[in-house]
């Protein structure tokens, strides 16, 4: 376990100190550890994700346990990982402490005794330390203070629920390919495979317990895909029907592209500026037996790739802060800055204005983000409508709708949708 602790501590340190993407660092680490078993790999992912998910609380607790700053940052991050294990994992407490001491001995023999003392002190004073850490919002919710303040200003008494939802383990939600069978039929297939799930939307089933995709009946035959229930609203809200020309302007990795094609026989063009990510769109469509015209291009620069023929429907799933999907990407909480929102909003407005020229008269454009901040959502749409006299916002139906905003909960991540129509 101590080797996994050290590897997780290194990953967390690279994210928090160097500002690196968690998935990228984790993938690099796993490639270096090619001899590790699947269980060890899963443990490394859990320790890395979990420590970052609760970093605000763990940092606050550790600051109470340290009488002076820890000069060896490698040991500091080992302690954070060990505290996560003691508080949130099922590992035996004595084993966690023992392995943390061994980790410290491998990194710095002079302070292994201090590691033992700190962790045992935590176990003795756990309740009091957690209570003291929770006196400050960052220690209570494990988010930066600016993030908490922004949500409080926007959502008031809903704020705590949004923050807590972002710290949950994400559900595994399936999208049933209606071209290959009904949702009810697939629910029966799951039951035959001893997998339990519940219906949460017309095409969506939420598994009671996540499983590898190779355990899903018919996955490789295209019967089902993994997609968050909130993301599945995009294809339904876009109002597609057979024969329409449709553009998915920021398509990778292709879940929404595929869902649109599953719902109607449209002429689909899928654009993404990242060629490698566009290859994932191709792979997803191939597995599902679907086809689209794939184009490498920037949604904000359509003159470089557009053939001049207008589209009846456009999905603008624009780049954003991803603040609605932090339970899947906990590093986002610590990598984002409050000043980032203005940059995203400017980029989103550029894309909206560029794509509007590609939309047919009476056509519809669905603006979508996975953000919970108004600056990227409601404010961008309002600014666009003020500048674009031929744009009209249409009503949409969402559960617990806050003017197009889905807040994260136990069934879905956080998303924002606005349906715009081009009028005379």
For the domain that residue 218 is a member of, what is the CATH number? 3.30.70.1170
DSSP 24-68: HHHHHHHHHTTT--HHHHHHHHHHHHHHHHTHHHHHHHHHHH-SS
The C-alpha atoms of residue 72 and residue 376 are separated, in whole angstroms, by 39
pLDDT for position 1 = 60
Q: Are residues 338 and 262 in the same domain?
A: yes
Q: Are residues 313 and 199 in the same domain?
A: no
pLDDT tens digits for range 222-239:
999 999 999 999 999 999
| CA angle centred on 332, ends 355 and 251, rounded to 5° | 30
pLDDT tens digits for range 32-56:
887 789 899 999 999 999 999 999 9
The C-alpha atoms of residue 66 and residue 81 are separated, in whole angstroms, by 15
pLDDT for position 2 = 63
Note whether residue 162 is domain-resident.
no
Q: Are residues 183 and 243 in the same domain?
A: no
Residue positions annotated with a catalytic role: 370
Q: Are residues 14 and 68 in the same domain?
A: yes
Note whether residue 66 is domain-resident.
yes
Q: Are residues 91 and 202 in the same domain?
A: no
Of 163, 198, 226, the domain-final residue: 226
Dig out the tokens for 84 from the structure: 């996560």
pLDDT tens digits for range 255-290:
999 999 999 999 999 999 999 999 999 999 999 999
The C-alpha atoms of residue 331 and residue 16 are separated, in whole angstroms, by 8
pLDDT tens digits for range 80-110:
999 999 999 999 999 999 999 999 999 998 8
Classify residue 116 as exposed, middle or buried by CB count within 10 Å of its CB (0-12, 13-18, 19+): middle
Q: Give the pLDDT mean for 359-382.
A: 98
- Average pLDDT of the chain, as a whole number: 96
| 394 pLDDT more than 80 | yes
Dig out the tokens for 355 from the structure: 């794509």
Q: Are residues 253 and 210 in the same domain?
A: no
The 8-class DSSP code of residue 338 comes to T
| Percent of all residues in the chain with a pLDDT value above 70, rounded to a whole number | 100
Residues whose CB falls within 8 Å of the CB of residue 265, separated by 6 or more in sequence, listed in order: 242, 243
Residues whose CB falls within 8 Å of the CB of residue 66, separated by 6 or more in sequence, listed in order: 118
Domain of residue 330, residue span: 233-422
pLDDT for position 305 = 97
CATH number at residue 390: 3.40.50.150
pLDDT for position 60 = 98
Note whether residue 270 is domain-resident.
yes
Note whether residue 131 is domain-resident.
yes
pLDDT tens digits for range 163-180:
999 999 999 999 999 999
Q: Which of 14, 95, 13, 80 has the alpha carbon at shortest distance from 50?
A: 80
- Is residue 268 within 8 Å of residue 188, measured between CB atoms? no
Q: Are residues 131 and 280 in the same domain?
A: no
| 17 pLDDT more than 70 | yes
pLDDT for position 36 = 86
Q: Give the pLDDT mean for 183-210.
A: 95
The 8-class DSSP code of residue 14 comes to H
| CA angle centred on 19, ends 371 and 410, rounded to 5° | 35
* Nearest-10 crossing angle of helices 73-88, 112-133: 50
pLDDT for position 309 = 97
- Is residue 134 within 8 Å of residue 145, measured between CB atoms? no
- Is residue 404 within 8 Å of residue 418, measured between CB atoms? yes
The C-alpha atoms of residue 57 and residue 305 are separated, in whole angstroms, by 48
pLDDT for position 236 = 95
CATH number at residue 96: 1.10.940.10
Dig out the tokens for 53 from the structure: 């998910």
* Domain tally, the chain: 3
Least confident window among 1-15, 120-134, 187-201, 323-337: 1-15
Q: Are residues 35 and 68 in the same domain?
A: yes
């Amino acid at each position: 376990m101590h080797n996994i602790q050290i590897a997780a501590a290194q990953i967390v340190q690279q994210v928090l100190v160097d500002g690196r993407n968690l998935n990228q660092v984790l993938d690099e680490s796993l490639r270096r550890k090619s001899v590790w078993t699947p269980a060890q790999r899963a443990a490394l992912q859990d320790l890395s994700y979990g420590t970052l998910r609760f970093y605000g609380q763990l940092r606050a607790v550790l600051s109470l346990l340290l009488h002076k700053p820890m000069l060896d940052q490698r040991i500091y991050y080992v302690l954070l990982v060990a505290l996560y294990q003691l508080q949130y994992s099922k590992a035996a407490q004595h084993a966690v402490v023992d392995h943390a001491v061994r980790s410290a001995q491998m990194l710095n023999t002079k302070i292994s005794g201090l590691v033992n003392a700190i962790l045992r002190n935590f176990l003795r004073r756990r309740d009091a330390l957690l209570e003291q850490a929770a006196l400050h919002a960052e220690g209570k919710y494990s988010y930066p203070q600016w993030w908490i303040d922004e949500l409080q200003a926007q959502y008031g008494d809903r704020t705590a629920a949004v923050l807590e939802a972002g710290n949950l383990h994400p559900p595994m939600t399936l999208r049933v390919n209606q071209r290959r069978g009904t949702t009810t039929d697939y629910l029966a297939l799951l039951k035959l495979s001893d997998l339990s799930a519940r219906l949460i939307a017309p095409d969506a089933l939420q598994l009671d317990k996540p499983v590898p995709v190779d355990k899903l009946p018919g996955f490789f035959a295209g019967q089902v895909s993994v997609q968050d229930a909130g993301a599945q609203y995009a294809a339904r809200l876009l109002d597609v029907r057979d024969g329409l020309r449709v553009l998915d302007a920021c398509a990778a990795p292709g879940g929404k592209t595929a869902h649109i094609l599953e719902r109607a026989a449209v002429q689909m063009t899928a654009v993404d500026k990242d060629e490698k990510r566009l290859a994932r769109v191709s792979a997803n469509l191939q597995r599902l037996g679907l086809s689209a015209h794939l184009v490498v291009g920037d949604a904000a620069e359509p003159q470089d790739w557009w053939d001049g023929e207008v589209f009846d429907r456009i999905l603008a799933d624009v780049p954003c802060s991803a603040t609605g999907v932090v339970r899947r990407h906990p590093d986002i909480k610590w990598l984002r800055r409050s000043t980032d929102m203005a940059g995203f909003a400017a980029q989103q407005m550029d894309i909206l204005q560029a794509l509007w020229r590609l939309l047919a008269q009476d056509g519809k454009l669905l603006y979508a983000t996975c953000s919970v901040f108004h600056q990227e959502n409601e404010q961008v749409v309002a600014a666009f409508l003020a500048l674009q006299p031929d744009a009209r916002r249409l009503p949409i139906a969402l559960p617990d709708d806050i003017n197009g905003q889905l807040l994260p909960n136990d069934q879905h991540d956080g998303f924002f949708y606005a349906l715009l129509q081009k009028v005379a």
